[in-house]
Amino acid sequence: MTERAGRAALVLLAMAVLGGCASVRTLDAAKPGAPVIYAGTRLDWYALNGGCCPVDRFGAEAPPYAGLDLPASALLDTLLLPFSLAVELGVSLGVSGGL
């Protein structure tokens, strides 16, 4: 891995870990009717286009730096796509977490 790619990966990881990532915010939103597939990316896009009420639509507040968060959210939403599709289709994967 080149030094530049390593830095980019570190920045993306830091954005996700700090809780500002829209994808991370929408994971536990549990708002009925909220989008599930690419939810974080859609939240960022909604905020960038002047959406008025992200909490009402997504169940989570948009990050203040949606433009910077968009690539990280798109990457994380892509990695989580199989799980998002399963949720959307109503398939129970038997996965549980938390305490």
Of the candidates 93, 95, 80, 91, the one whose C-alpha atom is nearest the C-alpha of residue 36 is 80
pLDDT digits (tens, 9 = 90+) for 6-18: 887 777 666 655 5
Residue 89 has pLDDT above 70, yes or no: yes
In this prediction, residue 2 carries a pLDDT of 82
pTM of the model: 0.73
Buried b / exposed e over 17-30, threshold 16 CB at 10 Å, is eeebbbbbbbbebe
| Token reading at 75 | 């990457």
Average pLDDT over residues 57-67: 89
Average pLDDT over residues 69-95: 87
pLDDT digits (tens, 9 = 90+) for 18-50: 556 888 888 877 788 888 999 999 999 999 999
- Domains of the chain, by residue range, sit at 3-89
Which residue has 């939810």 as its token pair?
39
